[in-house]
Amino acid sequence: MGFKEGFLWGGATAANQCEGGFDEDGRGLANVDVCPTGADRNAVITGKMKMYECDENHFYPSHKAIDMYHHYKEDIKLFAEMGFKVYRMSLAWSRIFPKGDEKEPNEKGLAFYEDVFKTCKMYNIEPLVTITHFDCPMHLIKEYGGWRNRKMIDFYLNYCRTIFKRYKGLVKYWLTFNEINMLLEAPFMGAGICFEEGENEKQIKYQAAHHELIASAMATRIAHDINSENKVGCMFAAGSVYPYTCKPEDVWEATKKDRESYFFIDVQSRGYYPSYALKEFERMGINIEKEEFDDEILKNNTVDFISFSYYNSRCAAKTVSKDNIAEGNIFESVKNPYLKYSEWGWPIDPLGFRITLNHVYDRYQKPLFVVENGLGAVDTLDENGYIEDDYRIDYLREHIKAMRDAVTIDGVDLMGYTMWSPIDLVSAGTGEMKKRYGFIYVDRDNEGNGTFKRKTKKSFYWYKKVIETNGENID
């Protein structure tokens, strides 16, 4: 027995990393458009360096990205050729509400996504839509301070109502916030927050988290009211944290680290703040401002399923020396000596994927959806212009095997798998094009040169076979 019938195989992208067309057809400027490549990117996405406008000294990769805004028909056709059952994508909020606080949406933005969904349907591809994947209209940041402000809930819900109504019958799978726990690590990218000197950053981040959690719960209710077929999921950056040694102090450190991420999902899935967080807030003097019905809203509107990204496991120790740090999906961690590392220094740990799937399922007992997993690598064209990306195939094969074990041996209830990303796109962490994930190559480089021409890689044909055999034939 393998994956269940109807298992949703596919791939995932995010609007700001692939669409381009950042000022076309009335789209407004968003936080993701002012995050440059290069040395300043980290300071900007973490809210340490305020960049509210674009300047001439920086390059902003989201402006053109891979120009999917004009290539989506061709790209979805290629996804269909691989046999995709599902395509996870996100909407650019500022395409639909350019400023964010308007009452009426921008019809051109709505029409664009309607056509994207219709194109998917033509190929029997089910869209899985992330309502916000790291994006927030810039006007809401300048005017209201992003998610630190409770008013954001209303703007977000107006946007949700609009899309749930407009895409009723076209979309039934929704994710409220991409990697909601990223708010803690990259608050500008995750929640449109910049800090002023001397501010209590933790207080602001957890207040913003509360706003997002309420918004997510309310959105779940509205989605269900508008269409009872709608299924709404939460989404977090996962990757279980291992203790560096079996020293109890290291084990405790790992437990605490895991909880930083689980905190969000505990609320979204169980419907209340976990006691460890309440105690921690008390100790740290963090005071979450709540309104009268907030607890009820959280309790009555938990998610239908839980989705997450998995790139790597993490590792924690009580004492860490500076030269023993590994990179990873934004989160740094202690270097695990038993693992191999990608070209970007991310640990490669397929068994960790099985472990994570089990941890998450044990904790919540709700259907899971893996909505990101993949390898960022440098691809080189051979003399015939072909890309033999065996390293990518190896990474995905081992991870899919581990996922299969979690399902078939451990009994994890898994709805689907969308790898990141079926087509090369701009890296969220570094802004590079050189860090390629795709089955489809895009002719575009870090400096913005290239023709945007698409080209299938070896892995394209491998994944087609994986889907054809429902994950049986993966060698």
Q: Which residues bind ligand BGP (CB under 6 A)?
A: 14, 17, 178-179, 237, 309, 329, 372, 376, 420, 427-430, 435
Nearer to ligand BGP, 149 or 421 (CB): 421
Please choose, from the candidates 196, 204, 397, 175, the residue with its C-alpha nearest in 3D space to the C-alpha of residue 284: 204
Nearer of residues 105 and 328 to ligand BGP, judged by Cβ: 328
Q: Is 411 helix (H, G, I), strand (E, B) or coil?
A: coil
At residue 422's C-alpha, the angle toward residues 84 and 170, to 5°, is 45
Render 271-324 in DSSP notation, one character per residue: SS--HHHHHHHHHHT------TTHHHHHHH---SEEEEE-S--EEE-SS--GGG
Q: Which residue is nearest to ligand BGP (CB)?
A: 429
Which CB, 82 or 330, lies closer to ligand BGP?
A: 330
The answer to whether 242 and 336 have CB atoms below 8 angstroms apart is yes
Q: Write out the H or E segment, with its range, that includes residue 129.
A: strand 126-132
Nearest distance from C-beta of residue 17 to ligand BGP, angstroms = 6
85 or 435: whose CB is closer to ligand BGP? Answer: 435
When the beta carbons of 222 and 425 are compared against ligand BGP, the nearer one is 425
Coil, helix or strand at residue 242: strand
Structure tokens at 466: 């994986």
3-state SS assignment for residue 48 = coil
Q: Which is nearer to ligand BGP, 186 or 298 (CB)?
A: 186
User: 306 forms bridges with which residues in the sheet?
Assistant: 234, 368
Using the minimum distance from each CB to ligand BGP, give the nearer residue, 171 or 235. 235
Compute the distance between CA of residue 36 and CA of residue 460 in angstroms, rounded to an integer.
30
Contact between 458 and 393 under an 8 Å Cβ cutoff? The reply is: yes
The Cα–Cα gap between 208 and 146 comes to 8
Q: How many residues does the chain have?
A: 475
Structure tokens at 113: 């996504």
Examine the residue annotation and report whether 372 is marked as an active-site residue of this protein.
yes
| Whole-number Å distance between alpha carbons of 408 and 386 | 36
For residues 79 and 102, what is the distance between their CA atoms, to the nearest angstrom?
35
Q: How many CB atoms lie within 10 A of CB 104?
A: 8
Q: Whose Cβ is closer to ligand BGP: residue 14's or residue 400's?
A: 14
CB of 140 to ligand BGP, least distance (A): 20
Question: Least distance (Å) from ligand BGP to the CB of residue 277?
Answer: 23
Rounded to a whole number of angstroms, the minimum distance from the CB of residue 309 to ligand BGP is 5
The distance of closest approach from Cβ of residue 283 to ligand BGP in the complex, given in angstroms and rounded to an integer, is 29
CB of 98 to ligand BGP, least distance (A): 22
Exactly one of 19, 185, 212, 372 is catalytic; which is it?
A: 372
* Strand partners of residue 436: 377
Q: Where are the beta strands (DSSP E) in 35-90?
A: 86-90
Does residue 179 have an active-site annotation?
yes
Give every CB contact of residue 286 below 8 A, 6+ residues apart in sequence: 200, 202, 203, 206, 280
Catalytic residue among 179, 185, 212, 432: 179
Distance CA 87, CA 306 (A): 17
Catalytic residues: 179, 372
